[in-house]
């Protein structure tokens, strides 16, 4: 019997390549999300530190100009935090979309792999049956030959 060949191997190979590419893209976006989370966390830490410094200076006494400078700095920091948080939200949306694409590609690849396994099981069964028939024929021929020569 001829060697097993899955007729959709080319499609399966292509789907696997697509899946690998999507997984790589997803990992990249995930790394960007983590980096952006670090940026936002760092900005919040700077904001809190600057706010603590402002509170200490207020307790020691500030001029109106110095107080306005601190408040202006806090507002600027809040705007930067807002911008970076919006970037983070956008990256998270991209990551979610890419994850859905990966899941879909996994489903497609998995269904082709299961089909290949079923086809291979059928092939194995047919091969086994073919081998059994050959053995039966051999035994049958051998017993005929032994009867003829006796």
Instruction: Report if residue 14 sits inside a domain.
Output: yes
Instruction: Report if residue 135 sits inside a domain.
Output: no
Instruction: Report if residue 85 sits inside a domain.
Output: yes
In this prediction, residue 149 carries a pLDDT of 65
Q: How many domains does the chain have?
A: 1
Q: Which domain holds residue 16?
A: 9-109
Please check whether residue 98 is in contact with residue 25, taking contact to mean a CB–CB distance below 8 angstroms: yes
What average pLDDT does the structure give for the chain?
92
Instruction: Report if residue 91 sits inside a domain.
Output: yes
Instruction: Report if residue 65 sits inside a domain.
Output: yes
Angle between helices 64-149 and 9-60 (to 10 degrees): 160
pTM of the model: 0.73
Instruction: Report if residue 47 sits inside a domain.
Output: yes
Mapped onto helix, strand or coil, the DSSP state of residue 63 is coil
Burial of residue 109 (CB within 10 Å: 0-12, 13-18, 19+) is buried
The pLDDT tens digits for 30-59 are 999 999 999 999 999 999 999 999 999 999
The pLDDT tens digits for 64-99 are 999 999 999 999 999 999 999 999 999 999 999 999
Instruction: Report if residue 129 sits inside a domain.
Output: no
Give the number of residues written for the chain: 150
Around Cβ 100, how many Cβ atoms within 10 Å? Answer: 12
């Amino acid at each position: 019997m001829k060697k097993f060949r899955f007729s959709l191997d080319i499609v399966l190979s292509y789907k696997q390549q697509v899946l690998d590419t999507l997984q790589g893209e997803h990992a990249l976006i995930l790394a960007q999300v983590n980096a952006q989370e670090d940026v936002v966390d760092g900005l919040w830490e700077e904001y809190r530190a600057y706010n603590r410094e402002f509170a200490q200076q207020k307790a020691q006494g500030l001029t109106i100009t110095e107080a306005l400078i601190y408040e202006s700095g806090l507002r600027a920091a809040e705007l930067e935090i807002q911008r970076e948080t919006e970037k983070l939200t956008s990256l998270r949306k991209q990551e979610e979309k890419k994850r859905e694409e990966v899941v879909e590609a996994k489903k497609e690849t998995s269904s082709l792999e299961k089909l290949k396994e079923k086809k291979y099981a059928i092939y194995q069964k047919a091969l086994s049956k073919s081998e059994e028939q050959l053995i039966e024929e051999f035994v049958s021929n051998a017993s005929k030959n032994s009867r003829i020569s006796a």
